[in-house]
Amino acid sequence: MNPPDASALPFTGERFTPECVREIWYEHWHRYVFARRLAQGRRVLDAACGEGYGSAMLADGAVEVVGVDIDAPSIAHARERYVRKNLRYETGDATALDFPDASFDLVVCFETLEHLEAQERLLEGFARVLSEDGLLVISSPDKHTYSEVSGFRNEFHVRELYRDELLALVQPHFKSLRLYGQKLVFNSAIWALDASGGACEAWTADRPGKSIAPALHYEPLYFVAICGKRALPERLPALSLFGDRDESVYAHYNHEVRKNMDAGRRIAELESEIERLRAGTPAAPAGDETAPRRSWWRRRKSSDA
């Protein structure tokens, strides 16, 4: 998708760049992949497009995509890095859109609400520039799980929302709405290898499986809302999954587990050496890997006695 010689923007923490890896990469790319099917054949506005990678993704099937961001260096970067006949980037304020009424059939706005105080003005502008059959796809972190439960504070967030606050913000402008939750979770996936269509199912169990319930019963970290001024499209997905073939998040998890296991073994060796020095016993012969285990066994037998 990117020219091989295109330079990357520095990551400051305020705007995502596609060079980021693992969890944050999954979260941001999945939102655009999720919206891409709705962009087919539509005039699309990517509001607060940032670095521009998402606008380029939407342009693969859209009639036209306009990426708008208030940061001029990001727009200059996007114009150089992502070149499509049906794609353009403009510097502008998402809360003061300079487009005629009904200019777009789809507005996409991801991880922007929480960066703004003027959220009501943002939604009013989206409703104005959308056609009567237009759709808005918008995301926002859940203040409860993102900040309160985790104890994490994002310095770039000025106004995070709870679920009912997000709905109250959107519903005055959009007659129809379907709300999704988003969160990275480890799942066992079973899928049709012939790639044929069909219904999706999901299950969530309490450990150790005493209770098994349909659907994914997790507290969302983010909300993603599809909003329509009239009716929503038919057959919206109930479940959307996204990953990478290298399984980078799971590979990183396994790497950290192995590091912890190696550290645990090293700690056991050092504890054994300390015990040996205190007891004044000779060191184990070089290459004798059973010495730490024999030391552990002596401690275990002593405690049993």
Q: What phi and psi values does residue 147 have, to the nearest 5 degrees?
A: -115, -50
Q: Which of 49, 60, 57 is nearest to 32 (CA)?
A: 57
Residue 265 lies in a domain: yes
Q: Which residue did the predictor score with more confidence, 149 or 201?
A: 149
Domain hosting 288: range is 252-304
Residues 42 and 173 in one domain: yes
pLDDT, tens only, 222-242: 899 999 998 999 888 888 888
247 in any annotated domain: no
To the nearest 10°, report the CA torsion of 52, 72, 7, 112: -40
Tally the domains of the chain. Answer: 2
Closest residue by Cα to residue 221 from 26, 15, 72, 54: 26
Q: Are 56 and 102 part of one and the same domain?
A: yes
Q: Are residues 27 and 166 in the same domain?
A: yes
The identity of residue 268, as a single letter, is A
* Residue 181's pLDDT band (cuts 50, 70, 90): very high
The pTM of this model reads 0.75
Confidence of residue 132 (pLDDT cuts 50, 70, 90): very high
Of 18-22, 160-164, 279-283, 288-292, the poorest mean pLDDT is in 288-292
pLDDT of residue 14: 58
Beta bridge partners of 90: 68
Res. 133: pLDDT tops 50: yes
Lowest mean pLDDT among 65-74, 221-230, 251-260: 251-260
Contact call for residues 296 and 303 (beta carbons, < 8 A): no
Q: What is the mean pLDDT of the chain?
A: 84
Instruction: Examine the domain organization and report whether 289 and 147 are in the same domain.
Output: no
Asked if 69 and 152 sit in the same domain, the reply is yes
